[in-house]
Amino acid sequence: MTVETHCPYCALQCGMTLAGAEVKPREFPTNRGGLCQKGWTSGALLSSPARLTTPLLHGKPVTWDTALDFVAERIERIQRQHGRDGMAILGGGGLTNEKSYALGKFARVALRTSQIDYNGRFCMSSAAAAGNRAFGVDRGMPFPVTDLDDADVVLLIGANPAETMPPFMQHLKAGLIVVDPRRTATAERAMLHLKPSPGTDLALALGILHSVFVDGHADKQYMNDRTTGFDEAWRIAAAWWPERVERVTGVSATDQRTVARLLANARNAYILTARGTEQHATGTDTVNAWINLALSLGLPGKRGSGYGCLTGQGNGQGGREHGQKTDQLPGYRKIDDPAAREYVAGVWGVSPDSLPGPGRSAYELLDALGRPHGPQGLLVFGSNPVVSAPRSAHVAERLADLDLLVVADFVPNETTALADVVLPVTQWAEEEGTLTNLEGRILHRRPALRPPDGVRTDLEVLQELAIRLGQPAERFPTDAETVFAELGRASKGGVADYSGITYDRLRAGEALHWPVPSADHAGTPRLFLDSFGHPDGKARFIPVDHKGPAEDVDADFPLRATTGRVLAHYQSGAQTRLIKELTDAVPESYVEVHPDTAARSGLEHGDLAKVTSRRGEVQARVRIVASMRPDVVFLPFHFPGDNNANRLTNPALDPSSRMPEFKVCAVRLEGTT
Amino acid sequence: MSPRSVVVAGYGMAGARFAEEILRRDPDGEHVALTILGEEKHLAYNRVLLSGVVGGSMKAEHVTLHGGEWRSRVRLGVSVASIDRATRKVVLSDGEAISYDALVLATGSRAWLPPVEGLTPDAPGVYTFRTLDDCEQILAAARPGAPVAVLGGGLLGIEAARGLVGRGCQVTVVHPVGHLMERQLDAGAGAVLARRLSALGVEFRLDARVNGYVPGDGLKLDDGLVPADIVVVTAGVKPETSVASAAGIEVDRGIVIDDCLRTNDPRVYAIGDCAQHSGAAAGLVQSAWEQAEVLADLLTGTNVAARYRGTPVVTRLKARDVDLAALGDVHVDVGTDEAEVLCLNDPSRGRYAKLVIRQDRVAGAILIGAPDAAATITQLYDGRMPVPSDRLAVLLGRALPSEATVASSPAELPGAAMVCRCNSVTKSQLVTAWRSGATGVTELASATRATTGCGSCREVVCGIAEWLSTTT
């Protein structure tokens, strides 16, 4: 039997077919028949001998009943002693919409805890916060990916799709401008590559905005008709003339003016951001600076141009809409909005007053675990924070201090290794569900094969736990289609309105981009064509200023480290490190270094280096890369233990999005002897 | 506890920034009650952008630093007439007296007029280039086609000349020294700059001795007349120190300050152009802003350990179509023993690049027409980072391609070369697949998955297939 499905990894959600565990690419608008090495080899995990197939209690196989009884009993004890917020949940951006929704509901209704957040906080949150501020709506790409095909100029900031979502490169046909401190595989294809010092993107955006305005490229008609707030934003940008920006960023004033001119003269131009510019303690302001630039050129809300953010995780978009985010209820509603609480409580059949308010964001949650006023128990679904959280050695210590750590996953990882209870669950091809890809399109994943004996779905796990916590079984259905229908009702009238979507419409192949407010609505592939999401219908310039990295370099830590991805691995690497073809391609961590910088540390290509920050140290194999800035080193973050780049990263948080500063920290580089 | 009274004398680039920094640290005025006095009638504006206003790329309203809400925060049209340090009071130009706990002098500087017969501030056709009002007067007087003399070939004079040429004036820069911007440039660079500006229409009279100004005629030099309807004087500035020195505060070139921005009276501070600190060159906005930050830290109690230690000087010309950066000590000749000096002089293409290196660090540089090098070298200088050993690449502003050089034919491509990055396929793997029977592009694709990711390697794979078909 051949089943049409989508790749389990990134937000491009490439179309593929599965015959048993054998993968073949198929035509789909996002990937056009292409697949990268991760996609091609994704079937290997379905039959991996590493697969978890039995619940583990303190490392020993037990029956499901034993495991679940233990968990429920421990939850009740913790909540009796420490209150409802004694229990916490950490979700993931790879979970289906149904699971994200059920997890949020489970937290608010069964545990009645405010302490739920998810790893998308480490991924999309700055772009989401900035999009909400500027447009009143956060949908990563408010237009279909295929619109990019007709662009003359695309400005990509902190994005490396040639490694992270290779088939996407088919949509970037001409006029690529790349902003990245490194000469990445994507930058190699650019007509212009700007290499700012890490943590200075905001200044760069201000310099280009300054050039747009001063060189007469601003679309004043558009700014007047469709935006507010330019004057205040300009007063800050006015102080960032390109020569001043050059001194801060290292990007020449000429290049800043060139970018302004290229964007302005293009017939169709797009500005796209990704993690490189977003994962900073000033990430939200930085994205708003890029959106300000897009607004000054009149790009958003017009067919053939726009601003978008390249979502990372498979369901990075849908995962942030349905309530696993601590400040949110389904349909992208705010949990502190009384009307939203009343409506959602009605759908759930509970009293609005029983719903908790907002709790801690992901890093703050992890940092509070096991502390006197923090949660004493944590349920983890679809996340591996021991590798993916900033200052990860500290996070591992916090997890170790818990009274109860439960991890539901399908392969063992660095977090299951610390868990009291491990619950083996189904993976993508073994279950049904929907995901929302990077362009806001809802995709249906069909089950392609039978799960191995002994595993259950996440929805089944939540129901079993809910029953044990005194909830009626029917409040936590296990059938994905039933959950999706309820999610539709709960999202009705919200920003991300799914109420008009049914499995039947998805099965019939309809291309549905949210909002889809009724069964006869064709969906919204392009948002903002008539008006933006704010009450006045206008987009907002946000006055933002450059502050620079949270941590400075000094004599002890003279280099800036930045982290990122490689093509062969996905996120914490828990899945891809189990696939031989991928570990053959990139077997271990490495650090990219300029030849002079390596020489000063006495290091040669292939040597093992020690990289140290104020938070920890890692070991990595030296790769001499002549195109690196001499003041910057790069490490991929997919590797555990001594190779875990997140032992170095700085948990300084963005004030709006609570995004940690993954992308820049001060380090030193030494030999290991 | 009542807040301390802080009086700011001056609302230019330094005073305005200081006020912002105070508000940022103390938004509710718990610690500091600010009185800001501005001599001009305008809300603070960005003086650095005035050459853009003269050049026509910006209007006056676009250089405003503050919004209308500042009208209630600032007293405009008032200045400090005298300081009574004993009673800690300032007397204003309108006669009012205000007590202070701390007084911040941010009085800036004034344009200097060289002693030339007939060249007085009120002579018809004479304009200084310092304030927004100056700009507006110049713009009103500078008619397209009219002859204009710019007196002074420093940074500001050149920016003014470039702007006025862009407006269609016939501009002659009259400069008393043998080459332009002699403080920042050596003679070679000065010549390249002059040549570049000449191509844009600016004329020069260098080494010029000016004997007089005749309204309607122009400037009289030793060797003839420079015709000019108007003269824009950019001969330098003088720190505004009169009130300070009248009050007995120590003044040298400017008001002398220490690392806490204090004068010899510990209740009186000075920042910006009026101040003289051992580590800062006069007249640069970067120094003024950094001083404003430190002083705001100190006076709000946010960080009492904050100190100002000086600002490395980087001069950057803001003139359309002329890219010039100069920094540090550049007056060192090639061939000297005491420093490593590299120089590339390419006057016919308007390029000049000089790099002075000491102890492996950038000691000075001049870069004309080399924007990438300017950006990189400025960062090396500011960060005191070692200069990369590939000095030529630094001077050119880009690393030379040392890796992944494109092979001219599939035969020359090394076996380990990555052909399809999306699927980690090397040339050897393609060759092996071909020998195992995948003798076509489609067959190679299904055997190795090359070309099945983003598809950008298709051409290379086709080339390899063609080469294999002719060699086996």
Cβ–Cβ contact A192 with B under 8 A:
no
Q: What is the pLDDT of residue B410?
A: 86
Structure tokens, A31: 């990937």
Nearest CA to A382 out of A440, A458, A484 is that of A458
B423·A247 Cβ contact <8 A: no
Residues B131 and B210 grouped into a single domain: yes
Q: Is the pLDDT at B402 greater than 80, yes or no?
A: no
pLDDT confidence of B306, banded at 50, 70, 90? very high
Peptide bond into A55 cis (omega under 30): no
d(CA B160, CA B168): 13
B69 touches chain A (CB under 8 A): no
CATH of the domain at B362: 3.30.390.30
In chain B, residues 444-463 whose CB comes closer than 8 Å to chain A:
449, 452-456
Residues of chain A with CATH 2.40.40.20: 559-671
Q: What end-to-end distance do the CA atoms of chain A give, in Å?
A: 56
**Same domain? B68 vs B167:** no
Same domain, B20 and B169: no
Same domain, B230 and B242: no
Q: What is the CATH number of the domain that holds B252?
A: 3.50.50.60
In this structure, are B243 and B293 located in the same domain? yes
Q: Which residue from B62, B318, B421 is facing A162, i.e. has the nearest CB? A: B421
> Is B246 found in the same domain as B100?
yes
- Which residues of chain A neighbour B372 with C-beta distances below 8 Å? 252, 254-255
Answer for the pair B83, B103: CB distance below 8 angstroms, yes or no: yes
Asked whether residue B226 falls in the same domain as residue B243, the answer is: no
A residues 254..313 contacting B (CB < 8 A)? 254-255
Distance of residue B450 Cα from the nearest chain A Cα, in angstroms: 10
B227 pLDDT more than 70:
yes
Half-sphere exposure of B185 (CA within 13 A, CB side): 25
Q: Which of residues 341-400 of B touch A (CB under 8 A)?
A: 371-372, 374-376, 378-379, 382-383, 385-386, 388-389, 397, 399-400
Query: Which residue of chain B has the CA closest to A14?
Result: B453
**Predicted pLDDT of residue B404:** 46
Evaluate whether B184 touches B326 at the Cβ level (below 8 Å): yes
Q: Please name the member of A243, A252, A627 whose beta carbon is closest to the beta carbon of B318.
A: A243
Chain B residue numbers with beta carbons less than 8 Å from the beta carbon of A37 are 422-424, 449, 453
Which DSSP state fits A150?
A: G
Structural contact between residues B287 and B311, judged by C-beta atoms closer than 8 angstroms: yes
Does the domain at A125-310 match CATH 2.40.10.480? Answer given as no
Provide the CATH number for the domain around residue B430.
Answer: 1.10.10.1100
Interface test with A, best of B53, B322, B423, B461 (most A CBs within 10 A): B423
Any bridge partners for residue B128, and if so which? B233
User: B 178-237 residues with CB below 8 A of A?
Assistant: none
- Residue range B27-37: mean pLDDT, rounded: 96
In a domain, B450, yes or no: yes
Cβ <8 Å between B57 and A214: yes
Q: Cα separation of A263 and A156, whole Å?
A: 12
| Chain A residues with CB-CB distance to B403 below 8 A | 625-627
Q: Establish if A220 touches chain B: CB-CB under 8 angstroms.
A: no
* Residue A610, CA distances (Å) to A484, A601, B388 in order: 48, 10, 22
Q: Using CB atoms and an 8 Å cut-off, which of residues 143-162 of chain A contact chain B?
A: 162
B231 shares a domain with B281: no
CA distance A662 to A204: 19
B46 inside 8 A of chain A by CB: yes
Per-block mean pLDDT, blocks of 10 residues, chain A (673 long): 94 96 95 96 93 97 98 98 98 97 98 97 95 97 97 98 96 94 95 96 98 95 98 95 96 96 97 98 98 98 97 94 96 96 98 97 98 97 97 97 98 97 96 97 95 97 98 98 98 97 97 97 97 98 97 96 96 95 96 96 97 97 95 97 97 97 98 85
Pick from B235, B262, B284: which residue ends a domain?
A: B235
Q: Do A239 and B423 touch (CB under 8 A)?
A: no
Q: What is the CATH number of domain A2-45?
A: 2.20.25.90
Q: A559-671 in CATH: which number?
A: 2.40.40.20
B48 lies within 8 A of chain A by CB: yes
In chain A, residues under CATH classification 3.40.50.740 are 51-122+315-431+442-507
Which of A:536-555 have CB within 8 Å of B? 553
Would you say domain A51-122+315-431+442-507 falls under CATH 3.40.50.740? yes
**Smallest CA–CA distance from B315 into chain A, residue:** A243
Q: Which residues of A293-308 are buried (b: 16+ CB within 10 A; e: fewer)?
A: bbbbbbbbbbebbbbb
- Residue B401: pLDDT band (50, 70, 90) is very low
DSSP, res B367: E
Residue B348 falls inside a structural domain: yes
Res. B212: pLDDT tops 80:
yes
Extract the runs of DSSP E, i.e. beta strands, from A539-607.
539-540, 559-564, 590-593
Q: CB pairs below 8 Å between A and B: how many?
A: 130
CB interface of B with A, residues 410-429, below 8 Å: 421-424
Q: What residues of chain B, 322 to 341, have a C-beta less than 8 Å from chain A?
A: 323, 325
In the stretch 438-467 of chain A, residues with CB closer than 8 A to chain B read: none
Report the pLDDT value the prediction gives residue B407, as an integer from 0 to 100: 56
ipTM: 0.91
Residues B435 and B371 in one domain: no
Domain count, chain B: 4
Nearest to B371 among A162, A235, A252 (CB): A252
- How many angstroms separate the CA atoms of B177 and B165, rounded? 22
Domain that holds residue B71: 4-109+238-300
Distance from C-alpha of B318 to C-alpha of B442, rounded to nearest angstrom: 56
Q: B320: distance to nearest CA of chain A, Å?
A: 10
Residues in chain A with CB shorter than 8 Å from the CB of B286 are 244, 247
Chain B positions in Cβ-Cβ contact with residue A245 (cut-off 8 Å): none
Structure token digits, residue B216:
């309607």
**Partner-chain residue, chosen from A37, A197, A600, that has the shortest CB–CB distance to B423:** A37
Contacts of B455 in chain A (CB under 8 A): 34, 169-170
Residues of chain A with CATH 3.40.228.10: 125-310
Give the closest-approach CA distance of A399 to chain B in angstroms. Answer: 36
Tell me which of B215, B235, B255 is where a domain ends: B235
Give pLDDT tens digits for B307-324: 999 998 899 998 888 999
CA-to-CA distance for A614 and A100, rounded, in angstroms? 35
Work out the minimum CA distance from A65 to partner chain B, whole angstroms.
43
Asked whether the beta carbons of residue B372 and residue A215 sit closer than 8 angstroms, the reply is no
- Least CB–CB distance from B424: residue in A585, A595, A630: A585
Give residue-wise pLDDT tens across range B49-82: 998 899 888 888 899 999 899 999 999 999 999 9
Is B116 part of a structural domain of the chain?
no
* pLDDT tens-digit map of B249-265: 999 999 999 999 999 99
Tokens encoding A601: 């540390």
Percent of chain B with pLDDT over 70: 97
**Which of B362, B387, B422 to mutate to probe the A interface, most A CBs <10 Å?**
B422
B150 touches chain A (CB under 8 A): no
Residue B224 shares a structural domain with residue B250: no
Determine contact, residues A495/A533, Cβ cutoff 8 Å.
yes
Instruction: List the one residue out of A393, A401, A440 whose CA is nearest residue A420.
Output: A401
Q: CB distance A250–B49 less than 8 Å? A: no
Of the candidates A377, A271, A362, A280, the one whose C-alpha atom is nearest the C-alpha of residue A325 is A362
Q: Torsions phi, psi of A513, nearest 5?
A: -105, 135
